Amino acid sequence: MTQFIRAAIVGDEEVLARLNRFVQDLHLVQRPEHFKPTQIRELAEWYDSLLQSSTARLWIAEVDGQPVGYLSAILHHHQENPFARARDWWEIDQIAVDPTYRRKGIARSLIVEAMNEARAQGIHQVEAVTWSFNGDIQEVLRRLGFVSKTIRFERKASALPC
Ligand SMILES: CC(C)(COP(=O)(O)OP(=O)(O)OC[C@H]1O[C@@H](n2cnc3c(N)ncnc32)[C@H](O)[C@@H]1OP(=O)(O)O)[C@@H](O)C(=O)NCCC(=O)NCCS
């Protein structure tokens, strides 16, 4: 089994749209009120514009020449304000691996690639937001040395206060 990580380029939008189901299906099952079923054509257009963005980078993982996973990362910039200093960081936005190829180090390789790119650009911070239900990606991030930074709470406004 030969694993290879390559930068995604314009023309890969359909491949990315197909790989996306490995994360979208999970999101849809867990939070159907938030996520919606996707259409390949609409997704391909969305990835096409992401691939052309100067602040996005995407990678595709291949095994024996077949695409089996991907990662997208977005460069963020926050200007200084009265409360916080200016900062730049790369955010891992999406990552998914075909279930058949999980636990073989593919997500690790994709994340390492994104971190190398951040370093090459002189960006010192890489972040990722995960849903609370997603213990799998949280474990992957911990194994790669990421630590929890903020915790987001939610509650239905219609529920009675306790
Ligand atoms: C989360 C996901 C990307 C992990 O991909 P993967 O290729 O199986 O992960 P890797 O094999 O590179 O694992 C990296 C490390 O995390 C560990 N790990 C991976 N999945 C794990 C799990 N479910 N439970 C515990 N540890 C896990 C591995 O053992 C490995 O540890 P090591 O390097 O110390 O040996 C994959 O399960 C997936 O696609 N899930 C659905 C999509 C998703 O949830 N995406 C994130 C939301 S945006």
Substitution candidate for ligand 1 out of 18, 92, 103 with most atoms within 8 A of CB: 103
Is pLDDT above 90 for 161? no
How far apart are alpha carbons 18 and 41 in whole angstroms? 10
How far apart are alpha carbons 69 and 134 in whole angstroms? 17
Q: Whose CA is nearest to atom 17 of ligand 1?
A: 140
Is pLDDT above 90 for 142? yes
The arithmetic mean of pLDDT across residues 28-39, rounded, is: 97
User: Which tokens is 55 given?
Assistant: 């602040």
The arithmetic mean of pLDDT across residues 27-38, rounded, is: 98
Query: Quick one: pLDDT at residue 151?
Result: 97
How far apart are alpha carbons 96 and 107 in whole angstroms? 7
C-beta of 26 in contact with ligand 1 (< 6 A): yes
pLDDT-derived band of residue 160, with 50, 70 and 90 as boundaries?
confident
Is pLDDT above 90 for 20? yes
How far apart are alpha carbons 75 and 64 in whole angstroms? 30
DSSP-derived pairing of the beta strands 3-7 and 87-97: unpaired
| Half-sphere exposure in the Cβ direction for 17 (13 Å, CA) | 19
pLDDT-derived band of residue 158, with 50, 70 and 90 as boundaries?
confident
C-beta of 95 in contact with ligand 1 (< 6 A): yes
Give per-residue pLDDT as tens, 70-127. 999 999 999 999 999 999 999 999 999 999 999 999 999 999 999 999 999 999 999 9
- Residue 1 CA to ligand 1 center (angstroms) comes to 18
DSSP-derived pairing of the beta strands 87-97 and 126-128: parallel
Q: Are 79 and 86 in contact (CB under 8 A)?
A: yes
Q: Whose CA is nearest to atom 23 of ligand 1?
A: 136
